[in-house]
């Protein structure tokens, strides 16, 4: 009955807050599921920054469905938002969504994942996952070279439907293929970005190939699983201790920071979260301020590999460490 409609409306209305009136601006922030710490942190940094500036943020989760994201952006356009920030599901859908915003004349910013090409104008801040993974694995390979024998590398592969995991896998293989002479065939472990799957498959893989020397995880959130598997085997060792497994990953979250400092992890590929967030925000806000409808700015976050060698200097460039130190303060 009509009561249903009433309930629907009243329930959220009762907890409604008045929008921030200071600037009167509203920005849509549409993202995919926040399942790793990087996304969670990015989400928090972006929303708090916008709110501090007195801009209303409309947060929407597209649940890894590009079509859903398109619908959300269209709905926002019909609500006359002043700007749009998306974390697209992939480069191809990003392009479509940008087109949609261009047509409506609303500035749009794309965070972290690059559109498939640069044919449509947008504020784009991206990290090249493959490139960053390559840097981190390069360092791991250098470490492995010191073993003085052919090393057996292992990679924890993320969900095969997620472009990030595909790119990171590519970066890993670039190094391994380039230095074929020093590596055995790599062991690939599927994780589907699922903690339990990662644990059981890694355990299985290490049961079959106990002589793994190097583990690269496609995301830092899986270190606890690696630890759970290595520890009973007596191989959860710090760098320099006998039996140490050369360990690296990508993301640069709090856990990775701690493990780097403790010496368990050799290298982690880091995206500069704060730089990316700030570039996106400043690019978009500038466009809104200037009244640009289809701003075009393309910023690349080169990223870097935080390694045991450079951790002393670059610790605070890593967002995980910075968040940790902020929390510690």
Partner 1 sequence: MRETSGWRGLLRRRASASSETQVTIVSRSPAQKKTFRPARWIGRWMLSDFFILGLAAVYFLVLCGIDPRMAGGRNIANLASSAWPLLALVLGQMFVLITGGIDLSQTSIMALTSVLGGILMTSSVQPEIFAETPLWGVLLTEEGGILAGLPGGAPIGLLAMVAAGAAVGLLNGLAVAKLRMPPFLVTLLSMMFFSGLALYLTQSENIRRLPDAWIALGKGQVGSVPLALLLVAGLALAAHVLLQHTVLGRWLYAVGKNPRAARISGIPVDRVVIAAYAFSGLMAAIASILYSARLEGGRPTLGEDKLLDIIGAAVIGGISLFGGKGRVSSAVCGVAFFVLLANSLDMMSHWYKLPYFTVNVVKGSVILLAALLDVGRTWLRMRGGGSPRREKRLPADAETRPSTGPDGLRRAARVMAGESSLRPPRRDDPPAAAPSMARDPSSPAVLEFRGTGKSYFGVPVLRGIDLSLARGEILGLVGENGAGKTTLMNILGGVARPDEGTMRLDGEIYSPRGPHDARRAGVAFIHQELNLFGNLSIADNLFIDGFPRRAGLLIDRRAARRRAAALLGELGLDLDPDMRLDRLAPGEQQLVEVARALGQGAGLIIFDEPTTSLTSRETAKLFDVIRKLRDERKAVIYISHVLDDVLRLADRVAVLRDGALVDVAPREQLTAGRLISCMVGREISDLHPRRSTRPSPDVVLEVSDLGREGAVEDIGFALRRGEVLGLFGLMGSGRTELARLIFGLDARDSGSVRVRGEPLGRLDPRRAVRKGLALVTENRRDEGLLPDASASDNLALAALERFARRGPGGFVNRSALARAVEGTARALQIRSRDLRRQPVQTLSGGNQQKVVIGKWLLASPSVFLLDEPTRGIDVGARYEVYSIINRLAEKGAGVLFISSEIEELIGMCDRILVLHEGRMRAELPRDAFDPERILAAAFGWKEER
Partner 2 sequence: MRTALRKLFPLVMRHSSWILLAVIIAAFSLHSSRFFEWESALNIAKQASYLGIVATGMTLVLLTAGIDLSVGSNMYLSAVVGGWLLSEAGAPLPAALAGCLGVGLLFGLFNAVAVTRLGILPFVVTLATLVAGRGLGLWITQSQPVSFPDAVLEIGSARLFGALPLPIAIFALVAMAAHVFLTRTQTGRQLYAVGRDLEAARRAGIPTRRIRALAYVACGGLAALGGFIAVAQYGNVNAGFGKNCELSAITAAVLGGTSLFGGTGSVLPGTVLGVILIQAVTTGLVSARIDLYLQDLILPAIIFAIVLLDSIRARLRGPSRTLRRRA
Q: Which residues bind partner 1 (CB under 8 A)?
A: 1-2, 4-9, 11-13, 15-17, 19, 26, 56-61, 63-68, 70-72, 74-81, 89-93, 95-96, 104, 116, 160-161, 163, 166
Residue closest to 91 by CA, chosen among 69, 65, 117, 60: 117
- 3-class state of residue 63 by DSSP: coil
Q: Is residue 168 a contact point for partner 2 (CB under 8 A)?
A: no
- Which option in partner 1, partner 2, none does residue 91 bind, with CB closer than 5 to 8 A by kind? partner 1
| HSE-up (13 A, CA, CB side) for residue 246 | 23
> To the nearest whole angstrom, how small is the minimum distance from the Cβ of residue 77 to partner 1?
6
Contacts of 324 (CB under 8 A, 6+ apart): 254, 257, 258
Min separation Cβ 61 and partner 1, Å:
4
Task: Return the exposure string of 39-72: e unless at least 16 CB atoms fall within 10 Å of the residue's CB, then b.
Answer: bebbbebbbebbeeeebbbbebbbebebebbbeb
Give the x-and-dash track for 121-160 against partner 2 (CB under 8 A): ------------------------------------x--x
327 interface partner picked from partner 1, partner 2, none, CB below 5 to 8 A per type: none
Of the two residues 166 and 228, which places its CB atom closer to partner 1 in the complex? 166
From candidates 53, 74, 184, 227, binder to partner 2 by CB under 8 A: 227
Q: Which does 190 bind (CB under 5 to 8 A by kind): partner 2, partner 1, none?
A: partner 2
**Least distance from partner 1 to the Cβ atom of residue 63, Å:** 5
- Residue ranges of E strands in the chain: 26-31, 56-61, 83-86, 108-112, 123-127, 153-157, 187-190, 214-217, 246-251, 267-270, 297-301, 304-307
Q: Is 78 exposed, middle or buried (0-12, 13-18, 19+ CB in 10 A)?
A: exposed
Residues of this chain that interact with partner 2 (CB under 8 A) are: 33-37, 39-40, 43, 157, 160, 185, 187-190, 193-196, 199-201, 203-205, 207-208, 210, 221, 224-225, 227-228, 231-232
């Amino acid at each position: 009955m009509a009561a249903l409609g009433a309930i629907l409306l009243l329930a959220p209305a009762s907890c409604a807050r008045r929008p921030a009136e200071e600037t009167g601006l509203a920005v849509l922030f549409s993202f995919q599921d926040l399942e790793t710490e990087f996304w969670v942190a990015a989400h928090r940094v972006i929303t708090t920054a916008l709110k501090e500036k007195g801009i209303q943020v409309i947060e929407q989760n597209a649940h890894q469905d590009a079509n859903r994201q398109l619908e959300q952006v269209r709905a926002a356009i019909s609500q006359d938002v002043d700007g749009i920030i998306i974390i697209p599901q992939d480069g191809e859908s990003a392009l479509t969504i940008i087109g949609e915003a261009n047509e409506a004349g609303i500035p749009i910013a794309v965070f972290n994942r690059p559109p498939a090409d640069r044919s449509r104008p947008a504020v784009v801040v991206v990290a090249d996952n493959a490139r960053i993974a390559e840097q981190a694995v390069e360092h791991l390979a250098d470490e492995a070279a010191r073993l003085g024998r052919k090393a057996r590398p292992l990679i924890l592969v993320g969900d095969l439907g997620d472009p990030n995991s595909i790119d990171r896998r590519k970066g890993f293989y670039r190094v391994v293929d380039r230095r074929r002479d020093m590596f055995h065939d790599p062991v690939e472990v599927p994780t589907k970005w699922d903690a339990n799957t990662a644990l059981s498959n890694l355990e299985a893989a290490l049961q079959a190939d106990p002589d793994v020397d190097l583990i690269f995880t496609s995301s830092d959130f899986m270190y606890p699983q690696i630890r759970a598997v290595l520890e009973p085997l007596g191989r959860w060792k710090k760098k320099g201790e006998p039996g140490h497994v050369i360990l690296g990953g990508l993301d640069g979250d709090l856990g990775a920071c701690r493990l780097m400092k403790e010496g368990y992890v050799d290298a982690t590929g880091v995206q500069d979260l704060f730089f990316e967030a700030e570039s996106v925000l400043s690019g978009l806000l500038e466009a809104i301020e200037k009244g640009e409808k289809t701003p075009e700015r393309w910023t690349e976050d080169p990223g870097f590999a935080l390694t045991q060698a450079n951790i002393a200097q670059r610790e605070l460039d890593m967002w995980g460490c910075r968040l940790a130190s902020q929390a510690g303060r």
